[in-house]
Amino acid sequence: MIFLRYESFRGYLKAYPVTSVIIALNALAFVLLTIAGSSTDLRMLIRFGAFIQTFDDPYGLSEPWRYVTSIFLHSGFQHLFFNLFSLLVFAPPLERLLKPLRYAGFFLLCGVAGNLASALIVAGNMLSVGASGAIYGVYGAFLYIALLRKASLDESSRKTVYTILIFGVIYSFISPGINIWAHLGGGIAGFVLCGLFQRRTIR
């Protein structure tokens, strides 16, 4: 089972530097938001870099940097906790597979792809924050591996991937306030990018 973590705190930081930095940045942003006012205050989230779609700017192109900054913001502790837990457990094997620098690019691209999918499909008045698009990119990458690189995953890890994806999709549809399009966009991007990155690694 590749998703079980046995490393010490120091060992984890050394083995998975990019995942560790991403977790730290998300936690730091949450602390700063809380100190500044509230992590659920829409005005505060906008000030800190939430992804905004308005009727005048439905694709968020007037401030494109928000496609990236919004990945590191979370609205409420529960939102932060579940995303950081997912990163802590599921991201390390992918970072090890892709190597840190490539994984960093992968993570950001999936997060941006999630926001882009939301922008293209919703194209209206909406505010989005969270690393969920990028995390679903990680899930999408493991779906690619489970389906097309079966020898790289043991059976229990493969079943875990399928289970997480099934529950993730159900949760995305039934929970209020969830940006389902960001999840789907990030997941599709992760599937495609993993295939591209794996081919480059093999060559």
Which 3 state secondary structure label does DSSP give 183? helix
- Collect all residues with Cβ–Cβ distance below 8 Å to 185 and sequence separation of at least 6: 113, 114, 115, 116, 117, 118, 133
> For this structure, is 8 an active site residue?
no
Find the catalytic residue in 39, 74, 79, 183: 183
> For this structure, is 132 an active site residue?
yes
Cα(8)–Cα(125) distance, integer angstroms = 44
Cα(27)–Cα(105) distance, integer angstroms = 20
Cα(162)–Cα(143) distance, integer angstroms = 7
- Residue 184's closest CA among 139, 123, 125, 126? 139
Find the catalytic residue in 79, 132, 152, 175: 132
Cα(175)–Cα(57) distance, integer angstroms = 27
Q: Which tokens hold the place of 122?
A: 């919703």
Q: Return the active site residues.
A: 132, 183
